C-alpha cells in the first residue's frame, strides 16, 4: 500500500485537531514523512497534501520556466505563498488552522480523499458536490464517445 486511495470523513476535536485516516497514515509512515506540504488547490476549495516530494515536483516544474517571465514568478507565488507545512502529532493528528479553514470552508468535519501520490482535504458537503460534478462530466464524456474514438 503505497498510494493514497479511498476517502474518509473525520471530526475535528475540541482542540482543533483532526485524525488523518489510518490507511493514509500507513502510506505517510511507509514514505517516511514527518512533515506534510499542503497547497491550496487552484481550482477547487481543497488542500492538496503530500510530502516534500510534492513540493519538489512543483519546484522542478518552476525550474523549467524562464525565470525572467511572469509565469515562473506566478508559479512560485502560488506554490510557495499559498502553501504551508503541516505536522502530524504522535497520534496521527494535524491542527486545523485558519489557513486550511479559509480556503476549504471546513468547520466541524474534514473529508480526506486519496489522489494517488497525494491526498486532499475538503469540507464534506463541498466534496459531495464536487464528486457529483466529476461523475457527471465523466459520464458525459463516456456517452459522447464512440468505441475507439477519443473525446475532444
* Tens digits of residue pLDDT in 61-99: 999 999 899 999 999 999 999 999 999 999 999 999 999
Query: 88, 65, 84, 86: which is closest to 75 by C-alpha?
Result: 65
- Domain ranges in the chain are 7-144
Q: What is the pLDDT of residue 151?
A: 59
| Mean pLDDT along residues 28-42 | 94
Query: 7, 5, 1, 3: which is closest to 121 by C-alpha?
Result: 7
| 147 has a pLDDT exceeding 80 | no
Q: Which CATH superfamily is domain 7-144 in?
A: Transcriptional regulator MraZ domain (3.40.1550.20)
Grid coordinates representing 78? Answer: 502560488
User: What are the pLDDT digits (tens) for 97-130?
Assistant: 999 999 999 999 999 999 999 999 999 999 999 9
User: Measured at the alpha carbon of residue 43, what is the angle toward residues 39 and 60, in degrees to the nearest 5?
Assistant: 50
In Å, how far are 52, 71, 73, 78, 93 from 123, measured between CA atoms? 24, 30, 30, 22, 17
In Å, how far are 11, 16, 25, 36 from 98, measured between CA atoms? 16, 10, 23, 17
H-run or E-run covering 41 = none
Q: What is the pLDDT of residue 144?
A: 83
Q: Please state whether the predicted TM-score (pTM) of the whole model is above 0.85.
A: yes
Amino acid at each position: 500500500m503505497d498510494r493514497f486511495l479511498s476517502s474518509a470523513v473525520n471530526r475535528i476535536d475540541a482542540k482543533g485537531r483532526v485524525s488523518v485516516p489510518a490507511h493514509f497514515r500507513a502510506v505517510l509512515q511507509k514514505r517516511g514523512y514527518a512533515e506534510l506540504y499542503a497547497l491550496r488547490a487552484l481550482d477547487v476549495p481543497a488542500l492538496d497534501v503530500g510530502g516534500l516530494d510534492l513540493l519538489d515536483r512543483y519546484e522542478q516544474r518552476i525550474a523549467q520556466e524562464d525565470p525572467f517571465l511572469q509565469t515562473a514568478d506566478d508559479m512560485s507565488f502560488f506554490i510557495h505563498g499559498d502553501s504551508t507545512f503541516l505536522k502530524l502529532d504522535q497520534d496521527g493528528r494535524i491542527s486545523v488552522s485558519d489557513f486550511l479553514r479559509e480556503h476549504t470552508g471546513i468547520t466541524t468535519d474534514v473529508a480526506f480523499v486519496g489522489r494517488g501520490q497525494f491526498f486532499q482535504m475538503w469540507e464534506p458537503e463541498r466534496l459531495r458536490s464536487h464528486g457529483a460534478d466529476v461523475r457527471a462530466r465523466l459520464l458525459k464524456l463516456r456517452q459522447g464517445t464512440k468505441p475507439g474514438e477519443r473525446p475532444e
